[in-house]
Amino acid sequence: MRSEFWKFVPILAFISIMTMYVEMVVLPSLPRIESQFNVTSSEGSWILSSETLTGMALAPLVGRLADSWGRKRVLLSILSIYIVSVALTSLSPNFAVLIASRSVQGIGLSINPLAYTLLRERLSNRELPVAQGVIASTFAVGAAVALPIGSFISQYYSWQFAYITSLPFLVMSVILVYLLFPSSTVRTGEKIDVVGVGLLSLGFLLVGIGFTEAPSWGWTSPGFFSLLGLGGLILAYFALRERRVNNPVINPEDLKNPNISVPLLSSFITGFGLFLTFQSLVFIFELPRPVGYGYSILQTGETMAPISLVLLVGGPLFGSLVNKVGYKRVILSSSMASTGTLGLLAWVVGKVGVPELMGVLVLVLFFISGMNVTRITLLLASSSREKMSSITGTNTSMRLMGNTLGPIISGSLQDTYKFPLFSGFLGSIPLFTFIPSIQAFQYSFLISMASVICVVILATRIRETSMLTS
């Protein structure tokens, strides 16, 4: 590896780890936050979805700004706003402020695509897959750090203080980028379709609110179908409008190339399945028996942290396999294996102990890491240098669309399928507390499995190609 590899990759990996730390540190505390602010599972799902919805809207904007203004300049601006939003989140006195500050925090989710394009601009074609595998694997490192540390701090202090611990490291990352990164050489001067971004965000917001309220309104209620229909109409208009504007958020021309369209569509599908699965797991661990395992926040964090490291191994491994066996074989084999392991997860949940469940989760995450790193590598190999930030911004937007819907669907299923848990007597009257049932989680994992089957079908359209020349 050349010296530039060792100069840029560690810094970008550090930044990515810190943003993943901030994103994941709240995960073990979701049941406590719902109880603290007295909100339902469906409403609580917006703790994750508010951030991803904003990230979805901002990712294309950030991509085009980076192509126009320079990637270093935009990265520094994002990090500065992100630091302020994390500080605000740590001070949240109520649920509304928490959701608002988490929404602003969503701008940090556009950092990873900028990291990919900075690497594509500076590294050779042989170095790029390994570097991308490292960056993709920082999800695992960030989660492995955030889950035990965040759960420990939340257990003995507060979940708000868990956010404060990230601030010194985020400030350090701004200093490192400012001092060590050169300015970008590629500029396009492309305008931004703000109306398109607004339509895309509004459409997903209405659909998300519909699924949030479905358990209380009823899945066949006029209100649910009205919001779903209105959101669908707005998204359909967005799709039609994209064909007519000069600066579309998602360029229809890009979707004609299967090596670009397949990774973009796969990003939405796997983002949906992964976040649906992660939110479900937290509640499985922390719900009382016989539905869950009755774990504390700290036990949940300590249990989930090691399986996240599977992504750290899988990302570089599958990234190196691309040069040997090709994109198509890697993404097909990893997605088919993911389908099988998710089906197994749906079957064993509620029937086995924690060690057996963890064994299945290790397999699920290992093969998902193969899907993720291959997808982004193929996308960048099929894109021109001038459009890299825009394409990866679109990819992030597609992934965050899935990330937004996944927790909402999980929360809706938990509010729909309930289990009566005996909690004592009031005189001679038995009292019951209703908690999410095993059926809710089985459906969650089956929906994840069905989404990955779609990736398998899409992957058959990939055309093998060599990496773009430097």
Residue by residue, pLDDT tens for the chain (470 residues) are 566 777 788 888 888 888 888 887 888 888 888 888 998 888 888 988 888 888 877 776 776 677 677 778 888 999 999 999 999 998 888 999 999 999 999 888 877 777 767 777 777 767 776 776 677 667 667 777 777 888 888 888 888 898 899 999 999 999 998 888 877 665 555 566 778 878 888 888 888 888 888 888 888 889 999 999 999 999 899 889 888 887 777 777 777 788 888 888 888 888 888 788 888 888 899 988 888 899 988 888 888 877 767 766 776 778 778 778 888 888 889 899 999 999 999 999 989 999 999 889 888 888 887 787 777 778 877 776 666 656 766 777 778 788 888 888 988 999 999 988 877 777 778 777 888 999 999 999 999 999 899 888 988 888 875 444 33
What token pair was written down for 298? 């700290």
DSSP secondary structure string, 275-294? HHHHHHHHHHHHSPTTTS--
Residue 467 forms part of a structural domain? no
How many C-beta atoms lie closer than 10 Å to residue 441's C-beta? Answer: 26
Same domain? 176 vs 43: yes
Same domain? 227 vs 286: no
What token pair was written down for 422? 């005996």
Same domain? 226 vs 268: no
| Cβ neighbourhood burial of 313 (10 Å; 0-12, 13-18, 19+) | middle
Domains in the chain, number: 2
Identify the pLDDT of residue 440.
93
What token pair was written down for 255? 């979707």
Residue 303 forms part of a structural domain? yes
Which of 246, 264, 282 is the last residue before a domain boundary? 246
Residue 45 forms part of a structural domain? yes
What token pair was written down for 304? 């989930």
Question: Which tens digit of pLDDT belongs to each residue from 185-211?
Answer: 655 555 667 788 788 888 888 888 888
DSSP secondary structure string, 32-76? HHHHHHT--HHHHTHHHHHHHHHHHHHHHHHHHHHHHH-HHHHHH
How many C-beta atoms lie closer than 10 Å to residue 73's C-beta? Answer: 15
Same domain? 288 vs 237: no
Same domain? 235 vs 251: no
Which of 229, 246, 263 is the last residue before a domain boundary? 246
| Cβ neighbourhood burial of 4 (10 Å; 0-12, 13-18, 19+) | middle
Same domain? 242 vs 276: no
Residue 361 forms part of a structural domain? yes
Does residue 140 contact residue 148 with C-beta atoms inside 8 Å? no
Q: Which domain holds residue 203?
A: 193-246
Does residue 149 contact residue 162 with C-beta atoms inside 8 Å? yes
Torsions phi, psi of 402, nearest 5?
Answer: -65, -45
Same domain? 225 vs 319: no
| Backbone region of residue 417 per phi and psi (left: phi > 0; alpha: psi in -120 to 50; beta: other values) | beta
Distances in Å between the alpha carbon of 36 and those of 22, 30, 104, 232?
A: 20, 10, 22, 34
What token pair was written down for 285? 């661990």
Residue 468 forms part of a structural domain? no
CATH of the domain at 426: 1.20.1250.20
Q: What residues does 436 pair with on adjacent strands? A: 418
Rounded Cα gap, residues 412 and 362, in angstroms: 26
Same domain? 267 vs 382: yes
DSSP secondary structure string, 426-457? ETTEEEEEEEE-HHHHHHHHHHHHHHHHHHHH
Does residue 371 contact residue 262 with C-beta atoms inside 8 Å? no
Residue 464 forms part of a structural domain? no
Residue 187 forms part of a structural domain? no
Same domain? 203 vs 346: no
Rounded Cα gap, residues 129 and 119, in angstroms: 10
Residue given tokens 């399986």 in the structure block: 307
Same domain? 80 vs 166: yes
Same domain? 111 vs 152: yes
Rounded Cα gap, residues 236 and 151, in angstroms: 41
Rounded Cα gap, residues 383 and 260, in angstroms: 8
Same domain? 329 vs 444: yes
Question: Which tens digit of pLDDT belongs to each residue from 347-375?
Answer: 999 899 999 998 898 888 888 877 877 77
Return the biggest CA–CA distance within the chain. Answer: 78
DSSP secondary structure string, 306-340? HHHHHHHHHHHHHHHHHHHH-HHHHHHHHHHHHHH
Residue given tokens 């191994």 in the structure block: 313
The pTM of the whole model exceeds 0.85: no
Which H or E element spans position 422? strand 418-426
Residue 466 forms part of a structural domain? no
